Amino acid sequence: MKTSMRYVDHGTGGSAAVLQIKEGPLPQPASGEVLIAVHYAGVNRPDVFQRSGSYPPPPGASAVLGLEVSGIIVAKADDVTAWNIGDQVCALTAGGGYAEYCTAPALHCLPVPEGLDLLQAAALPENYFTVWTNVFDRERPWKEQTLLIHGGSSGIGLTAIQLGKALGAKVITTVGNAAKAAFCTSIGADLAINYREQDFVQEALTFTGKRGVDVILDMVGGDYINKNIWTLAPHGLLVQIAFLQGSTTQIDALPIMLKRLTITGSTLRPRSIAEKAGIARSLLKTVWPMLASGSCKPVIHQVFPLAEAAQAHALMESSTHIGKIMLKVR
Q: What SS3 class is residue 105?
A: strand
DSSP state of 108: G
> Smallest distance from the beta carbon of 228 to ligand NAP, in angstroms?
13
The β-bridge relationship of strands 33-43 and 101-105 is: antiparallel
CB nearer ligand NAP, residue 12 or residue 318? 318
> Smallest distance from the beta carbon of 48 to ligand NAP, in angstroms?
7
Q: Which helix (H) or strand (E) holds 103?
A: strand 101-105
Q: Is 61 in the site for ligand NAP (CB under 6 A)?
A: no
**Residue of 267, 286, 295, 302 interacting with ligand NAP (CB under 6 A):** 267
CB nearer ligand NAP, residue 249 or residue 266? 266
Check if the beta carbon of residue 73 is closer than 8 Å to that of residue 34. Answer: yes
Residue nearest to ligand NAP (CB): 176
Return the closest-CA partner of residue 107 out of 88, 80, 146, 131.
80
CB nearer ligand NAP, residue 266 or residue 295? 266
Q: Is 50 in the site for ligand NAP (CB under 6 A)?
A: no
> Smallest distance from the beta carbon of 224 to ligand NAP, in angstroms?
9
**Residue of 80, 167, 169, 175 interacting with ligand NAP (CB under 6 A):** 175
Encoded one letter per residue, x for contact with ligand NAP by CB under 6 A and - for no contact, window 127-166 reads ---x--------------------x-xxxx----------
CB nearer ligand NAP, residue 6 or residue 165? 165
In DSSP notation, 117-169 reads -HHHHHTSHHHHHHHIIIIISS---GGG-EEEESSTTSHHHHHHHHHHHHTT-
Q: Which helix (H) or strand (E) holds 293?
A: helix 288-293
Q: Which helix (H) or strand (E) holds 182?
A: helix 178-186
292 CB-near residues (< 8 Å, 6+ apart): 113, 114, 115, 116
Query: Which residues in 188-227 contact ligand NAP (CB under 6 A)?
Result: 219-220
Q: Is 228 in the site for ligand NAP (CB under 6 A)?
A: no
Q: What SS3 class is residue 51?
A: helix
**Interface residues with ligand NAP (CB under 6 A)?**
44-46, 126, 130, 151, 153-156, 175-176, 180, 219-220, 241-242, 244-245, 266-268, 316, 319
